[in-house]
Amino acid sequence: MSKNWLITGTSTGLGRLLTERLLARGDHVAATVRVPAVLDDLASRYPDTLRVFVLDITDTPAVRATVDAAFAAMPRIDIVVGNAGYGLFGAAEEVTDAQIDRQIATNLTGAIQLIRAVLPHLRHQQGGRIVQLSSEGGQIAYPNFSVYHASKWGIEGFVESVAQEVAPFGIDFLLVEPGPTRTSFVSGLVRAESMAEYDDTPAGAMRRALDSGTFTIKGDAYNTVEAIIAAGDAVRPPLRLALGSTAYASIHTGLINRLDALEAQKDRAFAADATAPRPGA
């Protein structure tokens, strides 16, 4: 049985490939782009199952209007995919205020407002699924991606909370956490102007690894999209879906290290609890 999808950020990368795969299998897609012509080839090939909407995810009133229009154009939307986003590359001291604002507005605030906009529609239709593209960078961190990580860790916390709020309405969430994947992500990075002071630091080493091509990218875009579709089709997918061996290994190591650090603090943590009333209290 075919499904109806709303997907943001479908111009390139995983969003584009996801749209192609869903249309090819007979699903209906409402796709958002910033430049409408980029999907002309798909629109001509799938005139009955693809609807294209122009949207800048940082424009909150436009997000609400586009969501309303997409739901009005379909009898129901089964799955909403928040995919719009990009990476900001640079040490925290190197990035500009404007770059920070744009990164947060796109990856975090835009994702939050998309979710807020679709919730009333999903409640009205008594259920649905929201797939939010995060990253292994929503649980671990690399140098030179500090603001990008802030956006991904932020959206993961938001989703984990909202998932509890709306579960009674039959709405569930899936956080997709790919590792480094062979897409246009690296070529599309917004880069800060580098400072010589960081050349001999982990930030400089990361820059050289990306620029030289020695940074290992194992993830395959096609396999990643197929895994997202399979999880979207599942009756009860996990809240978080790590994709790629790099994502699995890095998140696994990160969680173990954090758990070990927490266990070492157990006595100190318990000592902060209230015990007997203090004299005079």
Buried b (16+ CB within 10 A) or exposed e, 31-42: bbbeeeeebeeb
- Gap between the Cα atoms of 119 and 99, Å rounded: 29
Catalytic-labelled residue, pool 86, 135, 151, 152: 152
Determine contact, residues 107/86, Cβ cutoff 8 Å: yes
* Cα distance between residue 184 and residue 247, in whole Å: 18
Structure tokens that stand for 119 in this block: 């919730």
| Residue 248, helix vs strand vs coil | helix
Q: Is 152 a catalytic residue?
A: yes
Could you confirm whether 248 is annotated as catalytic? no
d(CA 146, CA 108): 14
Alpha-carbon distance 207 to 45, whole Å?
41
Report the distance separating Cα 16 and Cα 8, nearest Å: 10
Clarify whether 134 is annotated catalytic: yes
In angstroms, the CA 84 to CA 59 distance is 12
CB of 112 closer than 8 Å to CB of 90 = no
The pair phi, psi for residue 5, each rounded to 5°, is: -125, 145
3 — phi, psi (to 5°)? -120, 160
Say if CB 167 and CB 231 are below 8 A apart: no
Which residue in 134, 135, 146, 151 is the catalytic one? Answer: 134
Question: From the CB of residue 276, how many other CB atoms can be counted at a distance below 10 Å?
Answer: 6
d(CA 179, CA 177): 7
Q: Which of 46, 86, 142, 148 is catalytic?
A: 148
Q: Which positions are catalytic?
A: 134, 148, 152
